[in-house]
Structure 1
Amino acid sequence: MGEQATPFGPQYGFGLYVHWPYCSKICPYCDFNVYAAKTRSAEPLLKAIAGDIRIHRPRMPEHGALDTVYFGGGTPSLLKPGEIAGLLATADEVFGIKSGAEITLEANPNDILRADLRGLEAAGVTRLSIGVQSLRDNALAFLGRDHDAVSARAAVERALHVFPNVSIDFIYARPSQSIDEWGDELSDALALGAPHLSLYELTIEQRTAFGKAVARGELIPMDPDAQADLYELTQSMTTRAGLPAYEVSNHAAGPEFRSRHNQIYWHGGDWIGVGPGAHGRVSVGGKRYASEAEKRPEAYIANVVALGSGWGEASTLYPLDIARELIAMGLRDIKGIDVQRIETMSNTPVPRDRIEAFVAEGWVRFDGATLSLTPAGWLLADAITSQLAP
């Protein structure tokens, strides 16, 4: 099967994900690969990430220029504009970065308030994703954030003066949060004027501080039915405000503000993952590989020095794995999935009787080729995916 014939790969988008693992403060809900920044020098890790980008080129001879670059974490806004520019220069030298590429930087509000935003713009950043999380001081304290509501508002306002494309993150469905409280807060969030909102229900992972508090009986997560009520309110309010959902948790004022990088994940494109703990998906010669870098920064740096890469051998994804991933990720997006693409990959028919049953319930739309979830179906995305996956 040739590269262009495969139902996955860079023809569906090609991105670079850079994971910067350091944070000035670790949040109690965070399940990402993060470490306290302390007074560490950034230089050894920056050098290792640049080396990791370089070693990917000979492994991926058929890939063209990058469509997107995403700096995530952790807190990549702790990096200086010159350090970001240096990594982008390496990526451009090694792969090329397309003209008009989307280059996103995740940032905390306090970093935005003291950052050289024009410097970030000059470095190549085109989009900011700001971790506001809440506009209520008591909620921010509960979430372990190091900013308050006033600084969050000021950060968004300052960012919008320089970057037309700004996304803000919020966490809702917090324990004991009422539907009226979330409605008021979401109204305030919409009033900030950002063209993109990422609105996530609080997920409590076992190994986090919140997870341990739940295990001790000190924290009671919100009831799923109450969460569903808040989700439905979220959909109606954002739609009325002109920021409808284009994915389960993501809302945009228009197609031009949708996250192009995330769409690579959802649509089965390729991305290189560099930095400690970063994941990647790379297609070469009709095969697809999953990579995961060493998690600890010291081990990651040592791997790059010894092996030339933050990861050793990538694992091969088999056709059924790829098909299941395509359906799970693709159904999150409003565009849905091409059923034939899944069937080509898995060599297994997607059960039409189940599709018909879900259509009758009002959970999915199916035109004979494209299958997509309705807003009601998004509430049941995982269950529907498990029923349809080969």
Structure 2
Amino acid sequence: MTPTPAPFGPHFGFGLYVHWPYCTRICPYCDFNVYAAKDRDSGPLVEAIAADVHAHRPRMPDHGALDTIYFGGGTPALLRPDEMGTILLAAAEAFGIKRGAEITLEANPNDVLRADLVGLQRAGVTRLSIGVQSLRDASLAFLGRDHDAVSAAEAVSRALKVFPSVSIDLIYARPGQSPASWEMELKDALALGAPHLSLYELTFEPKTPFGLAVGRGDIKPMEDDAQADLYELTQSVTQAAGMPAYEVSNHAASPQHQSRHNLIYWRGGDWIGVGPGAHGRITVGGSRYASEAERRPEPYIANIQALQNGWGNAAKLTELEISRELLAMGLRAGEGIDLRRIETVAGAPLAKDKIDVFVEKGWAEMQGAELRLTPAGRLLADAITAALSP
């Protein structure tokens, strides 16, 4: 008799996330773990990240080859192809990289315009994620970006000539943005031809320059109802263009262009997090661990050199924490989640009466044990998750 697979773990996907923390310019809305690049020597951090990948292997003896690798940041496109190759070689030596693995690199438009794209492809990169953020020069200036709309379009065009899978990020729900102006900008973005869009509403995190400006009254965020209207408009425009949402903020022209790395997060798979401040989720011996590397680059490098281990003492997650995370992440994706997985971890059934109400209101759909949110329900994803959480 075949044993029932565990409700979480590498059989739902196994990835590597590499955090490169340096940026030539730090945007006023950014709440990520980033630092000014200046004239830093990248060599020591590259070596530390490669050593960190190797250091994970002894703790994960049963994990097979990697399905995906994602270079995020920060601005990982600041890495040279040979530096990226050093990290990929470490991944191949420590775990192996599956044939046809997705290897994504985040880049800004100006990075794409000056980068050796063919060299990056030869190093192993298969997919570019370009931080366009807007196709309007005034908005780009407001967002603190160092490119204009023309260079953004040129970057996407150049990337598509080398990489068959290209994603572009856009930020909407900006102060004063009208539905008509967003609709036109979104259609302009769709016309660029990238087969994947990540569309995010502007958020004002407290400690960012934007968050502080809101606190002073210098910036007034868009009202929630107006943001919801723009979200619904976004779904309508992208659906009509053949780019439906497969997750709350992500759209793809076909399943082959969906972010396989992000699907690991939403499906409850495993991923290693390396680089300053990187997070990971690792399943070992039936238990699930949350890792977080040292945030600042210099201590991170020192920690690797001293301990040969970037994830330190990873925290073992409780059954309640695991089940809540599986539910929250699973409901973000259009494919939904098998509730039996959550109930197995939590040791108790979810509230069927609440699920019935959500289905009746048109916010969710049940097919067997699979629960998924409808487009209308995705607007309420956080509230529905909170209501159903064990």
* TM score, norm. by length of structure 1: 0.99
Q: How far has the Cα of 1:311 moved from its partner?
A: 2.7
Counterpart of 1:88 in structure 2 is 88
- In 1, the alpha carbon distance for the partners of 2:95 and 2:155 equals 33
* 1:370 equivalent in alignment to 2:370: yes
**Structure 2 CA distance for aligned equivalents of residues 96 and 341 of structure 1:** 28
2:91 partner amino acid: A
Alpha-carbon offset, residue 3 of structure 1: 9.9
CA distance in 1: counterparts of 2:46 and 2:79, whole angstroms: 10
What are the Cα deviations for residues 340-362 of structure 1, in whole angstroms up to 9, with x where unaligned?
11100100111000000001111
Return structure 1 stretches of 4+ with deviation > 2 angstroms. Answer: 2-5
CA distance in structure 1 between the aligned counterparts of 2:367 and 2:352, rounded to whole angstroms? 12
Aligned counterparts of 1:343 and 1:19: Cα–Cα separation in 2: 33
1:189-208 → structure 2 map (5 Å cutoff): 189-208=189-208
For 2:55 and 2:115, locate their aligned partners in 1 and report how far apart those are by CA, in whole Å.
31
Aligned-pair distance for 1:320? 0.8
Contact 1:303 1:311 in 2 (8 A): no
RMSD of equivalent CA atoms: 1.0
Q: CA deviation at 1:207?
A: 0.8
Task: Specify the alignment match of 1:356 in structure 2.
Answer: 356
Residue of structure 2 equivalent to 1:13: 13
The alignment partner of 1:265 has SS state of helix
Give me the whole-angstrom Cα distance separating, in 2, the residues matched to 1:84 and 1:51. 14
Counterpart residue type for residue 359 of structure 1:
V
Q: Which residue of structure 2 lines up, in the alignment, with residue 106 of structure 1?
A: 106
SS of residue in 2 equivalent to 1:15:
strand
Give the secondary structure class of the aligned counterpart of 1:283. strand
Letter in 1 for 2:155: A
SS of corresponding position for 1:349: coil
1:183-217 Cα distance to aligned partner (Å, 9 max, x none):
01001000000000000000111111100000111
**Counterparts of 1:165-180 in structure 2 under 5 Å?**
165-180=165-180
Give the corresponding residue for 1:275.
Answer: 275
In 1, Cα distance between the equivalents of 2:91 and 2:312? 20
Aligned residue for 1:5, secondary structure, equals coil
- Per-residue CA deviation, residues 310-338 of structure 1 (Å, 9 max, x unaligned), is 23110000111000000000000011010
* Alignment match, 2:26: 26
The TM-score, its normalising length taken from structure 2, stands at 0.99
The answer as to 2:313 corresponding to 1:291 is: no
Matched letter for residue 159 of structure 1: A
Contact 1:338 1:371 (8 Å CA) reproduced? yes
Assess, with a 3 A threshold, how the Cα gap between structure 1 residues 4 and 68 changes in structure 2: closer, same or farther: farther
1:308 Cα offset (Å): 0.8
Q: Counterparts in 2 of 1:1-390, with a 5 A limit? A: 5-390=5-390
Identity level (%): 70
- CA distance in 1 between counterparts of 2:57 and 2:51 reads 11
Task: Report the secondary structure of 2:161's partner residue.
Answer: helix
Counterpart of 1:278, as a letter, is: A
Distance 1:388 1:221 in 2: 29
> Do 1:3 and 1:9's aligned partners in 2 also have CA atoms closer than 8 Å?
no
Question: Secondary structure of 1:162's partner?
Answer: coil
SS of 1:234 mapped into structure 2: helix
Work out whether residues 247 and 333 of structure 1, in 8 Å CA contact, stay in contact via their aligned partners in 2: yes
- Quote how far apart the aligned CAs of 1:306 are: 1.1
What is the rounded CA distance, in whole Å, between the counterparts of 2:96 and 2:203 in structure 1?
37
Amino acid at match of 2:354: R
- Measured in 2, the distance between the counterparts of 1:310 and 1:90 equals 14
Contact 1:3 1:284 in 2 (8 A): no
Residues in 2 aligned to 1:222 and 1:298: alpha-carbon distance in whole angstroms: 39
Which residue identity is paired with 2:243? Answer: L
Secondary structure of 1:99's aligned partner = strand
